[in-house]
Homo-oligomer: A and B are copies of this chain.
Amino acid sequence: MPIDEVAESLTVTPRDTLRRKRERGSYDREVINSVLDEALVCHVGFGAEHGPVVLPMTYARVDDDVYVHGAAGNDMLRHLASGIDVCVTVTLLDGLVFARSAFHHSMNYRCVVLFGRAERVTDLDEMSTMVAALLDHLAPGRSADARPPTPEELRATLILRLPIHEGSAKVRTGGPIDDEEDLGLPIWAGVLPTALVAGSPVSHEGTGGPLSVPAYVSERVLPT
């Protein structure tokens, strides 16, 4: 995955300059968007009073922004909304890599790391757009079915927007990379692919039956 600095790339700054395994890195916006659109959970990191904190959150991408949200009273989100630096990381695990030597075991993955400062969204239209994007991120089409948020519900929600501006993607694919002299060892080596998959939907009481499971849920294919 070559480092690609064309127009559709992110800004290269001291903190997003790839250091280790640069050949696995990319600033390409298409690569970054595809990871953001496939994964379902991000890890949000920031400096709190007592040190760094990393918390998992749902998120949605809309064009060149990533949105996270939570309750309006959420201390962490309020702290983030104050304009502190934040790092948002999204990781997809694609496989376990077994080398002949312990030393060269690895994992296949796709990862996006974004840096910046988040801003609170207060415009009700943008909030509604974000909520729809979040639902459609869970299952494309869901936002057309669910009861939309009321203005009161939106006001009880704190939504943050982080521009996809500074950051990078890192991708490892392929098999193990053993040392030449280990290749003849009688030890199996290879990759065990992994993917997040969906099971069978469990209908909530009162739904199912005539309220049958929508196709966007029952046929939800988590990309692999």
Chain A interface residues (CB < 8 Å from chain B): 13-15, 19-20, 40-41, 43-56, 58, 70-71, 74-76, 85-89, 91, 93, 96, 98-103, 105, 107, 109, 111, 113, 115, 131-132, 134-135, 138-139, 142-143, 145-150, 153, 157, 175-176, 178, 182-208, 211-214, 217, 220, 222, 224
Contact = CB atoms under 8 A, between A and B. Distances in A.
A143 B44 CA distance: 33
Contacts of A213: 188, 190
Most B C-beta atoms less than 10 A away, residue of A56, A71, A149, A189: A56
B93 A41 contact: yes
A175 B109 CA distance: 30
B96 A138 contact: yes
Contact of A40 (B54, B107, B135, B143): B107
A51 B84 CA distance: 9
19 contacts: A20-B76, A43-B54, A43-B89, A51-B85, A54-B54, A96-B138, A100-B207, A105-B138, A145-B187, A175-B204, A178-B204, A187-B211, A188-B203, A188-B214, A190-B204, A190-B207, A190-B208, A192-B220, A193-B200
